[in-house]
Amino acid sequence: MAKAAKAKAVKKISKAASVKASSSKKAATSVKGTVKSGKSAVTLGAENKKAVKTPAKAEKAPRQKTAPKAVETMEVVVEKKVEKLDFVAGDFVVYPAHGVGQVEGVEEQTIAGLSITLYTICFEKDRMRLKLPVTKVKASGLRKLSSKDRLKDALSTLQGRSQVRRIMWSRRAQEYEAKINSGDPVSIAEVLRDLKKADDQGEQSYSERQIYQAALARLAREVAAIEKIDEKKAAEKLEAVLGNVA
């Protein structure tokens, strides 16, 4: 009897253990299912969240193709203005303030970013060299040697009568100097004519002699260049004409 009771107790314990194991297995299966189910829920939630946050892109209207704009191209050609040259190297010219000079050449210089054409003129008598822009020739009074007809007019002036104005010498001296610096051979001849005194008129004053010599040298240089003779001979020729005046 005791043996039967013991066997019954062992059977009861085994059944209880079996029930407990079954419960544990069911619980584990339930948890696994829950976890699996939860993963699906989380995944689904993430997909839904993504779907909510990323709205469907609106369909863009097709862009209309526009005709390409015509590009106008204009070729700009900058031409350097060709400056007319009145003189070349070797020419004799007359610059009013300095008299007869000789063109040594034509050169280009860049001044303040601009290209300028210059005449280089040598005045050997004054030991001076002048550079004059081509564009300033007319304003400066630079000219060619006088024509033979103009030279004849100057010689005819020398043979005329003196026309001295009765004004103060200082005023007359200014007028004479202005005529000399004009570069006009006839005006220079007028100075020589008016300052040349006859033997019975006495000697020239120092200032008169100075102006007379300046006028004589200026006109003699041009006569020498025109007639291609020595300057000294040209001066003698002019004084000979003055000496023949009655």
Q: Residue 239: which of 226, 211, 220, 218 has the closest Cα?
A: 220
Question: Given 117, 144, 171, which residue is the final one in a domain?
Answer: 144
**For the chain, what percentages of helix, strand and coil (3-state, to nearest 5) are there?**
55, 15, 30
Per-residue tokens: 63: 């862009």
Gap between the Cα atoms of 85 and 119, Å rounded: 9
Residues 236 and 174 in one domain: yes
Q: What is the domain count for the chain? A: 2
Residues 112 and 177 in one domain: no
Residues 116 and 153 in one domain: no
Residues 159 and 208 in one domain: yes
Which residue range(s) make up the domain with 139?
Answer: 92-144
The Cα-based distances of 172 to 96, 165, 195 in angstroms read 20, 8, 11
Mean pLDDT in order along the chain per 10 residues (246 residues) = 52 51 47 42 43 51 56 47 79 94 93 90 90 92 94 94 87 95 95 78 84 96 94 95 76
Residues 140 and 163 in one domain: no
CATH of the domain at 206: 1.20.58.1290
Q: Could you tell me if residue 229 is inside a domain?
A: yes
* pLDDT given for residue 162 in this prediction: 85
Residue type, 35: V
| Cβ–Cβ < 8 Å for 185, 154 | yes
* pLDDT given for residue 10 in this prediction: 46
Q: Residue 67, exposed/middle/buried by CB under 10 A (0-12, 13-18, 19+)?
A: exposed
Residues 96 and 125 in one domain: yes
Gap between the Cα atoms of 83 and 90, Å rounded: 19
